[in-house]
Structure 1
Amino acid sequence: MLSKYLTKKNVIAVMVIYISIVFIQALRFKFTDSTETLHIFGTLNDWAFESFGIEGLFLPPGIFNAYVIGTSELIASLVMLAGLFTAKKFLIPIGAAMSFGIISGAIFFHLFTPLGVDVLGDGGLLFTSACGIWVVSAVLMWLTKHEVLGLLVKKST
């Protein structure tokens, strides 16, 4: 019975919805200057200044501030959802690649800066969530690669 619903199309849909829900629900933190967001981006900003002498990189109007990252996550989600709910299926791997890039940055900063894996005593929940999105984005790119390859073949003929 379950195999009837476990189609490639449904698996892709669940993956797109999973990434989109995680990204979109996090916007309320990034766009409202929550305590968690201020801690994360403040820690990264201090690290960038102490390590490289770059001040304001992770705080507004810096290029990696919470508003920029949140907007990027929103765009990636909307691109994937547009691909899911329209005939433009090639948008799914494009949005997945965007998600993969965004979340790769998050994982890097968790692992290689003072931010760390356990943010404000969350037991690694934020980091684990990032890793989940990273894996799902990679699998989603793999499962939908034919969409992008199909575009490339059409363009070259």
Structure 2
Amino acid sequence: MIEHKPLRLLRHLAWIPAIWIAWELLHYEQYKLLGNPGSVFLFTVLTDWLGFHGYEKAMRLGVGAMEIAASILVLIPRTQGFGGLFAMGVMSGAIFFHTVSPLGIDPYSDGGVLFKEACLTWAAGLLVAVLRRDQLVALFNRIAGRDAAVPA
């Protein structure tokens, strides 16, 4: 099967947002995994608001684990599209909680840097998913029982 040059170019372009996603998510792991006071504060506000008092660490580490998984998946060519969707899902949670919880869009009074980065990372995940949609269609076909190979 001959691959068209535009499709090959799109696959290469997917690396730009994929690298952003991985860098952005992995950069913040140092704060989540090591229990930085700012990160502990954010997740304490969330768990208290949700009624899960005392479960800040579990939520913080759980979110951190999902972000690491999304970072890995988006950097593996065969799973890049799914990694983009996974990153969108994680960032959808961040955007949701920043907009509806007492956390607010600007919890650190820094102009809402975390919220803006979450929105940009969500958009990067969407871009990866769109650019690698052939991969996602093949994956969903395979899950649905249709015989289709997942493109690399």
TM-score (norm 1): 0.80
Matched AA of 1:156 = R
Instruction: Calculate the aligned-residue CA RMSD, in Å.
Output: 1.6
How many Å separate the matches in 1 of 2:138 and 2:80? 13
Structure 2 stretches of 5 or more lacking a match?
1-8, 148-152
Equivalenced residue count is 137
Counterpart for residue 79 of structure 1: 73
Corresponding position of 2:110 = 122
Residues of 2 paired with 1:67 and 1:153: CA distance?
A: 33
Gaps of 5+ in 1: 1-6
Q: Measure how far apart 1:152 and its partner are.
A: 4.5
Q: Give the TM-score taking structure 2 as reference length.
A: 0.83
* Alignment check: 8 A CA contact 2:14 2:127 kept: no
How far apart are the structure 2 equivalents of 1:94 and 1:9?
14
Q: Which amino acid aligns with 2:57?
A: P
Alignment partners' CA distance in 2, 1:143 and 1:152: 16
**Aligned mates of 1:26, 1:136 — CA distance in 2:** 17
Q: Which residue of 1 aligns with 2:3?
A: none
Partner of 1:43: 45
- What per-residue deviation string (whole Å, max 9, x for no partner) do you get for residues 85-110 of structure 1? xxx2xx01111111111100000000
Partner Cα separation in structure 2 for residue 147 and residue 115 of structure 1:
36
Aligned pair 1:156/2:146, yes or no? Answer: yes
2: CA distance, partners of 1:151 / 1:25: 29
Q: Percent identity?
A: 26
TM-fit CA distance, 1:11: 1.8
Deviations 1:102-139 (A, max 9, x none): 10000000000000011211211000000001111112
CA distance in 2, matches of 1:152, 1:109: 29
